[in-house]
Structure 1
Amino acid sequence: MLERMKKKREARLSASNDPSNFIHKMARELEEKDSIDSELFIKHNVKRGLRNSNGTGVVVGLTRIGEVLGYSVNENKEKVPMEGKLYYRGYSIEELVQSCIEEGRFGFEEVTYLLIFGQLPTQKQLNDFNALLGEKRELPVGFARDMILTAPSRSIMNKLARSVLALYCYDDNPDDTSIENVLRQSIDLIGYFPTLIAYAYQAKSSTFDNKSLHLHYPIPELSTAENILRMIRPTGQYTDLEAKLLDIAMILHAEHGGGNNSSFTTHLISSSGTDTYATISAAVSSLKGPRHGGANIAVINMINDLKRNVKDITNHKQVEDYLVKILKKQANDKSGLVYGVGHAIYTLSDPRAKVLKGMAKQLAVSKDLVDDFMLCDFIEKKVPELYAEINGVEKPMPANVDLYSGFVYSALDIPTDIATPLFATARLSGWCAHRLEELIAGKKLMRPAYNCVQEHLTYKPIKDRK
């Protein structure tokens, strides 16, 4: 019988020559069957990408956590450009960061407290909160060995999502969605994340890049930024300026309103009543997508490509010529996009980019990278002008936070592999706040509608099909 089955299988393979031919053929057919004429979206008044016709987002909820202002809308429902503003729980991001700079202290933990609890902490409250985070810097016993080192991944984001799901098994009360229990789980995850991404990176580097394995224990008394730099570097060494700049970058990435894809995912998944680990893993998976969280990597790759192809990055004419090639889809990834310039919401300016640019300049001076910093500055100023010349359309195109966060990560020698995981570690604070808000204020399963445009068909017996 086994021999007959083997012969039948060989006959099938012989008939198709290559099993992948079936996949290739069916994929082409599926692309045709599942395509939907763009006119049908207009006919059914479908807001593709949950965007209105003027580019604004469809309002699907209310939030107290974060506010993103990039334009106003006039009486004709047209977008009117304005200087960008970002608020965390009603506080301006510029004020929050400036306070940390003036007082020479780390601020990510304070901002995390603000986002989750809805108020600025007293010194005692912040100390107590930091102590709770410190208790959770080290992973559960056996977790690093069993869940990270035993099964490393080439993608740190993939490993991060899997690790979050695995932590469900280490929780004695994982499915309780009471606010007290979700708060406890949120603090646990915020404490764990730096170690998760650092160990996932070390496992990946050792297994796939043939580098030495360096596993430094986290130190509870150190800030999130300090622990990250300590654990990803072989020597565990870093400067105060490096740690403070990473801290500011994380503050700027901690929250961006409820409508960004991963925060909306958090609301969506939470509305089903599922557990915290499933919800946060879904948010990580959303951020992994190149249309969302991969933008800072795209900037790093674009700058590296430019430096390989431009002999002198201080020669503005050479840089301009290459930017023109990028815009004409002749260079870099041929997408026609200059990454780090332009934003879906911000029109005249991205407040995060303005804040980070000032600190990035200090880092550039300290590391003798002024030419690289000025390259970013030139891209910021020149691209809107070149875009208008090439496309015949003038529109506000401010530098976004990714232009300077990409520079900062490169200057800090942070591997490209870990850029988006760092984003996730910062944004986790916002995700946890949005999950709690959904559980408290939402209390309704999200159930949007899709109109079906497939005509009804008459069933055919298999013998009559061709």
Structure 2
Amino acid sequence: MSLYDKLAEGAVKSSDIDKELFDKFNVKRGLRNADFSGVLVGLTTIGDVVGYDKMDGKLVPREGRLYYRGVELKDLVKGFQSAGRHGFEETAYLLLSGHLPTSADLKTFDDLLVAERDLPPFFSKNMILSLRGRDIMNMLARSVLGLYTADEEAEDLSPINLIKQSISLIAKFPVIVAYSYFGMRHSYQRKSLVIRHPQPELSAAENFLYMLKGENYTKLEADLLDLSLVIHAEHGGGNNSSFTTRVVSSAQTDTYSAIAAALGSLKGGLHGGANLKVMDMMENIKANVSNWSDEQEVAEYLMKILNKKAFDNTGKIYGIGHAIYTYSDPRAVLLKEKAKALAEEKGRLDEFNLYASIEKLAPEVFYKFKGENAKVICANVDFYSGFVYDCLNIPKEIYTPIFAVSRIAGWCAHRLEEVCGSSKRIIRPAYKNVLEYIPYLEMDHR
């Protein structure tokens, strides 16, 4: 046995804590209560995720709602779409400032974003193209830390400087992701290196598509990407990456360190990578269900998945179910409405209909599998987002980075609230030691 094996074996053995001890000491695993609601650890005015009511100590399912600074997401989306404009910039302004912008404020904010899109001199070559990487999320995190060195006021925690840093990061994230993707593709897939400079007249969504595909995109494609950026921009302070931002920010560290930590959280397969699992599952379903329009055949295969006899044998139907949403995920509802039009444009309506069929059947099959005590579940945003990105011909390597391009707005808002708020206190929960104390042994007696 090598020393690595010995150390790993010891680490696994010493990490195995009796599950009954968690109940004995009333440990809130995952910071969740016994009824799966979140443990209240803070207050916020940024976002509110509503999926149930609590009555007489019990969770009562309801249609999902999501609020940004008190504005319901569906109203925000309806507002900018009915006006014929993209909404991510307006959403970012709302999250950072706490109120909707006037026309003049939004124009000035757009101009600030345009001015901040370009990366520092030699940054693209030295930080992105020379320091090659296979994973775009890691390259993005590394680049964020690299931006610290280019900021002479990196440690300034004043509100105005935090706003300047936030605007800079929101503007630069799409550029870093696009350049990192082409750098990775050139280095590891032996494909052409393409570097397109951001265009000042384009919105954030249009610019991202332009840097990825040139002018080869439609208005509907840009509208769908803009919607995706808006609905992923914020999801309350309790989601793992936003909470990470707040934990690290509570220590009074710099913006770049806090955002790099959030990126590390989002990279995890249980957080930002969920739509990739949906895509893999859907490919498996398409290959094993002969008639996509036969609901009985689809339902039978879903039951096989739940019984751990199909796909990855985990018993999970990916993209179905959420920690908070019960009857519906408003983000999935909004994305589905536009996704159908995109599927029609791309000639993939049959595939979209299969998604819609699974969304309908999965809860029914789940209730049949679990029985009367089954929790109420619905399709979450990850169920449709991967399909939308695939229709946009966006490579899978940047599905999670797109999430980051959007969520950076929410992260910065939470950092501002944590650093500038009136109740500053470092976040430090408690862990109880459950190992008995043992005496130190001299080397000869071990």
TM-score, shorter chain, exceeding 0.5: yes
Let me know the Cα RMSD of the aligned residues: 1.3
**Distance in 2 between residues matched to 1:236 and 1:452, nearest whole Å:** 59
Partner of 1:7: none
Instruction: After TM superposition, give the deviation of residue 314 of structure 1 in Å.
Output: 3.4
Change (3 A) 1:182 1:80: same
**Equivalent of 1:73 in 54, 58, 67:** 54
Q: Which moved more, 1:391-400 or 1:347-356?
A: 391-400
Could you tell me which residue of structure 2 aligns to residue 424 of structure 1?
Answer: 404
Question: What does 1:408-447 align with in structure 2 at a 5 Å threshold?
Answer: 408-441=388-421, 442-447=423-428
2:157 paired with 1:177 = yes
Q: Does 1:455 align with 2:436?
A: yes
What's the offset of the Cα at 1:306?
Answer: 2.1
The CA deviation at 1:138 is: 1.4
Question: Please, which of 28, 33, 44 is the counterpart of residue 25 of structure 2?
Answer: 44
The equivalences for 1:6-21 within 5 A come to: 21=2
1:33 match? 14
Going from structure 1 to structure 2, the CA distance change for 1:292 and 1:322 (only over 3 Å counts) comes to same
- The amino acid across from 1:326 in the alignment is I
1:243 to 206, 222, 225: 222
Q: Which amino acid aligns with 1:409?
A: Y
Q: Which residue of 2 aligns with 1:6?
A: none
Structure 1 Cα separation of the partners of residues 83 and 165 of structure 2: 31
Q: 1:100 matched to which residue of 2?
A: 80
Give the match for residue 300 of structure 1. Answer: 279
Aligned partner of residue 301 in structure 2, secondary structure: helix
- Partners of 2:308 and 2:287 in 1: CA distance: 17
Alignment-derived partner of residue 116 in structure 1: 96
Cα separation, partners in 2 of 1:207 and 1:318, compared to 1, 3 Å = farther
Q: Tell whether 2:206 aligns with 1:226.
A: yes
SS at match of 1:290: coil
Q: Percent identity?
A: 50
Measured against aligned partners, the alpha-carbon deviations of 1:276-323 in whole angstroms (never above 9, x if no partner) come to: 000000011110011111111111221122223334433434433332
Residue equivalent to 1:365: 344
How far is 1:429 from its partner? 0.4
For residues 49-95 of structure 1, the C-alpha deviation after alignment (integer angstroms, 9 at most, x for no partner) is 000111110000000000011111112x1111011110000001000
Query: Partners of 2:240 and 2:375 in 1: how far apart?
Result: 24
Matching residue within 97, 104, 112 for 1:132: 112
Q: Which amino acid aligns with 1:346?
A: Y
Equivalent-residue separation in structure 2 for 1:325 and 1:136 (angstroms):
51
Measure the CA separation in 1 of the matches of 2:313 and 2:293.
24
Consecutive unaligned residues in structure 1, runs of 5 or more: 1-15
The 5-angstrom pairing of residues 243-282 of structure 1 reads 243-282=222-261
Match of 2:182 among 202, 211, 233: 202
The residue type paired with residue 25 of structure 2 is H
- Aligned-pair distance for 1:183? 0.7
1:158 partnered with 2:133: no
Look up the SS of the partner of 2:50 in the other structure.
strand
Cross-structure match for 2:67: 87
Distance in 2 of aligned mates of 1:228 and 1:333: 33
1:381 to 360, 382, 387: 360
| Structure 2 unpaired stretches of 5+ | none
Give the Cα–Cα distance (whole angstroms) in 1 for the partners of residues 113 and 359 of structure 2. Answer: 38
Distance 1:337 1:410 in 2: 22
Q: Match of 1:314?
A: 293
More moved, 56-65 vs 386-395: 386-395
List per-residue Cα deviations over 1:410-432 (Å, max 9, x = no partner): 11111111111000110000000
Looking at structure 2, the residues matched to 225 and 301 of structure 1 have their Cα atoms a distance apart, in angstroms, of 26
Alpha-carbon separation, structure 2, partners of 1:151 and 1:315: 50
Structure 1 distance, partners of 2:167, 2:394, is 25
Cα distance in structure 2, aligned partners of 1:414 and 1:331:
28
**Counterpart position of 1:283:** 262
Counterpart secondary structure, 2:224: helix
Who is 2:121 aligned against?
141
Matched letter for residue 135 of structure 1: A
- 1:395-410 superposed matches below 5 A: 395-410=375-390
Number of residue pairs matched by the alignment: 444
* Partner amino acid, structure 2, of 1:420: T
When normalised by structure 1's length, the TM-score is 0.93
Label 1:323 to 1:210 Cα distance change in 2 as closer, same or farther (>3 A): farther
Q: Which moved more, 1:373-382 or 1:204-213?
A: 204-213
Q: Is the 8 A contact 1:302 1:332 kept in 2?
A: yes
Could you state the TM-score of these two structures normalised by the residue count of structure 2? 0.97
